[in-house]
Amino acid sequence: MSPIVRDTDAPLHERKLNGMAVEPARSSNGTPESTISALPTWTNSLPTTDHVQFFKDTDWASTTLGPLEHWGPSLRFAAHMVFADSRGACIYWYMSTCLSLLALYVTCLTSQRGPDRVALYNERFKVMCAEAHPRLMGKPFRVGWPDISDNISPIFEHAQKTGLTVDVDKIELVSERRGFREEVYFTGQFIPLRGDSGEIEGFYNTVSAFETPRARRTF
């Protein structure tokens, strides 16, 4: 029988010694190191806030974007941008580098509802979206914020078709806020974003101000 040799200093893939079996290092609770999950290193440079941690803890593997470690450079850059933005801002992304164009086409064809446009947003945006938070994070726009989905979809489609930013000035929407439906007037932009494919793969939505019948907020 080959002796067991502990080699906690070497990387896991290098733990071998002259053909002898090497026992992997374990965590403080005894879990083998190979089974300990860790966030991808690119998220380490995101701001350190409770909201960013909420973003990291979201089950992205269950979305069409895939787990964080599979996100391509364009989506990672967009994520850094949204969390650094001092305005309320949200990204709606419908393609990942791990999702081929054919897979996207099949998804749209079978759902009959178009691309998912999965949302990720900063802390200031959650104030604006009210009851849509926290369910909107990591959810398709039409699922996370169904109240206004039909009104905003034509804006997405126009930005997708033209490749140009769509400015909205006090666009009227009705959304669930504080337990009842309320008129809200939004001012901001929908900016088309190109992904690693060179095609438009998402949208950057900024909100500079929104008004309700009782109050006006400026971001």
| Residue-wise DSSP of 25-79 | PB-TTS-BGGG-----GGGGGS--SHHHHHHHHS-GGGSTT--GGG--HHHHHHH
> Would you call 20 helix, strand, or coil by DSSP?
strand
How much is the average pLDDT of 135-154? 94
User: DSSP assignment, residue 113?
Assistant: S
DSSP string over 124-144: HHHHHHGGGTTTTBTSBHHHH
Percent of the chain residues past pLDDT 90, beyond the cut: 56
Q: How would residue 178 be classed by pLDDT, with cut points 50, 70 and 90?
A: low
What's the pLDDT at 129?
Answer: 87
For 9, the 3-state DSSP assignment is: coil
| Domain span including residue 117 | 48-218
Taking 50 as the threshold, does the pLDDT of residue 99 lie above it? Answer: no
Phi/psi for 112 (5° steps) reads 60, 15
CB 129 within 8 A of CB 155: no
The pTM score is 0.74
Q: What's the confidence (pLDDT) of residue 32?
A: 44
Instruction: Give me the pLDDT at residue 176, please.
Output: 75
Residue 41 lies in a domain: no
The CATH number that applies at residue 55 is: 3.30.450.20
Among 86, 185, 177, 182, residue whose Cα is nearest residue 132: 177
- Between the CA of residue 191 and those of 23, 132, 160, what are the distances in Å? 52, 21, 9
**Residue 43 forms part of a structural domain:** no
Give the chain's domain count.
2
Question: Are 68 and 135 in the same domain?
Answer: yes
Residues 130, 82 share a domain = yes
**Is 143 domain-assigned?**
yes
Are residues 115 and 104 in contact, defined by beta-carbon separation less than 8 angstroms? yes
Domain match, 212 and 144 both: yes
Residues 132 and 29 in one domain: no
Domain for residue 66, yes or no? Answer: yes
Q: How far is CA 44 from the centre of its chain?
A: 16
